Structure 1
């Protein structure tokens, strides 16, 4: 990788990560410690062993990529581990100049009703870890004086597109048993609606910074429109929306996310510039459809959460960053936010993702600042709009300061 900017500058400049899965972003050594503490069996108890067997540089397919989540989710059902993971995730981001994160996960994957681990406890525990890291960093003299922007965060709760009767989590297993006479799809939708109602309640009644709704899991066979009512509830309660769309399915899934689910942002959005991935037989001119949709998204400033390494690992057809559709997103002036997806599973950082993006496209400093700005202008900030604007302004002024210090003007 090479770009016009030094790794030192890219690490020092203020950044945001808006597509960051908690259960895919544990420290490898932290995972080992948590597993040993909780009696969870791992394929290896060394970092090198986990990298060799589970969290690889590259994967054969999406199934292999997702394999590691069985271990991370298992340890995160211990609330001590969950709090530690949230705390360490915030710390790791702060250490590389990331001053705003939106941490997403499916709370129901961590719930275990038989052990008293309900939705509220999972959410309060996660928030406690993130808040501890925030409070520690923001108490530093440089932050208190305003010389550096403070660290902040929001939590995005994910509904699952699909889950089985057994094995996904104790909560899902129990729900299927309770609703045994329901169609599986109805059980899945019931879980999603329960999750969004509880999210709004905790935000409004207890002040937790739950800022958005996402839907995650396999796109193929589980269209976003199945969850339209869930997204309508979020929409009607002023909860912002993102959708995993266009990761492994055609551009029609992106259109559906916008029109059926009121998406404020798009997770991945890769297939937008891959018309050959369109499968809807009613779309006869695929090139024109993709072109018009891209123009619409650009005009509406619907931000795309770009996760380059993750896409390279789960889509072997891309092969190289120079084949990634980020190039087309950039050339078509879309609002793109550089994100990690999963820091552990993809073995990456926000700095590394910027290095990848900038190695593929020649980005002038002004456009780089725009890319950074999208992370703060398109985030789902927990405060009001005036506070969000003031925070973004402070961050971008700091960007100018760091750029000048590194010789970029």
Structure 2
């Protein structure tokens, strides 16, 4: 396997297409924000929070998700929210990430009683990201074309499930207003409201809301429940990704593609585990997986790969080399290296790339392909022609960095 130094990985152009805002705060900032918001944390020190909440290893998905109650708690303050978005862009810029797609669930942060509605949430996040972008792109190296500019998009997450207790003031209020509806009807209605509001604000205010995501508990809440929501996005040129093949197998990925028109898949590692197929009509599970993988590869439906996160939420994976990323590579699927949650997983884009190249056979050409997918399969907030030009800039810079480190003449 070729050796790629940490300096090379850091300097090469990168993207992060699966990046949760509420899972990627600076820990120091979270503590400061909690004090401003009078939110009590399990500890007021970085060391204490790392020991009690944000760990290197988690016992299960529930423990992994435990910290989100604190991050979402502080982000219901608009000053904190703008700061978090701004700092997230800065942290990516500092490690050579040129393009990010920041995703979060606005309805988890909304509080109608104090006037924090969808529009204010979206403008606030956009203001933080935009400020960081303008500051970065004003640097001489960017201005003179020596380094690619920074850009971003925003992905709004609908929740697969929530209840009227503890999830957010918005969801609690919605369940009270619709107390005679079945819970799933309320959940679907919230998702439809989200996608409609996303299209409206994109078109009327020019906020770069580039896609819809479906997040939350995957098992028991299949994608087909949200088919109408995704049809609305599809019919209004809003691109589509879904968390699929994370806690549920190949059938989840199949549904994401066939029922929800998925342009990309979040995680996808479980699709290569035959034991996770539960449909009794699928008799030859290996054949089903092989055909699904071939279809995804042929259609260039990219998978957002989050290695560290998968290791932390799936105790069955005891060694990184067991990760199904190997199967994705063997099936020639378009794979994009992502972080998922920089704080919760204690990772960076550079660290995720290092994990990939240190544990899987990735020659330079394949590495450049992976970097290219991060730009070419992005939901770039511009025309296709503009996206191609931006990707070309970034890939030309990859060649510049590769020559600097002696990989190409």
Equivalent pair of 1:20/1:102 in contact (CA under 8 Å): yes
| Residue 184 (structure 1) shift | 0.4
- The equivalent of 1:291 in structure 2 is 290
Please give the secondary structure, in 2, of the residue aligned with 1:261: coil
Equivalent pair of 2:249/2:272 in contact (CA under 8 Å): no
Pairing of 1:179-328 with structure 2 (within 5 A): 179-328=178-327
- The equivalent of 2:38 in structure 1 is 39
TM (norm. structure 1) is 0.99
**Residue-by-residue CA offset, 1:331-389 (whole Å, 9 max, x unaligned):** 11110000000000000000010011112212111110000000000000100011000
Which ranges in structure 1 are unaligned for 5 or more consecutive residues?
none
Equivalent pair of 1:17/1:350 in contact (CA under 8 Å): yes
| Residue 3 (structure 1) shift | 6.1
Number of equivalences:
408
- The equivalent of 1:69 in structure 2 is 68
TM (norm. structure 2) is 0.99
Pairing of 1:54-133 with structure 2 (within 5 A): 54-133=53-132
Equivalent pair of 1:327/1:360 in contact (CA under 8 Å): no
| Residue 165 (structure 1) shift | 1.1
Please give the secondary structure, in 1, of the residue aligned with 2:85: helix
Matched, 1:403 2:393: no
- The equivalent of 1:19 in structure 2 is 18
CA distance in 2, matches of 1:278, 1:83: 42
- Range with bigger deviation, 107-116 or 352-361: 352-361
- The equivalent of 1:355 in structure 2 is 354
CA distance in 2, matches of 1:219, 1:179: 24
**Residue-by-residue CA offset, 1:285-335 (whole Å, 9 max, x unaligned):** 111100110001001100000000000000011111100000111111110
CA distance in 2, matches of 1:41, 1:215: 30
Pairing of 1:95-174 with structure 2 (within 5 A): 95-174=94-173
Equivalent pair of 1:73/1:109 in contact (CA under 8 Å): yes
CA RMSD in angstroms comes to: 0.8
Which ranges in structure 2 are unaligned for 5 or more consecutive residues?
none
- The equivalent of 1:8 in structure 2 is 7
Which stretches of structure 1, 4 residues or more, deviate above 3 A after TM superposition? none
Matched, 1:175 2:174: yes
Please give the secondary structure, in 1, of the residue aligned with 2:259: helix
- The equivalent of 1:384 in structure 2 is 383
CA distance in 2, matches of 1:294, 1:321: 21
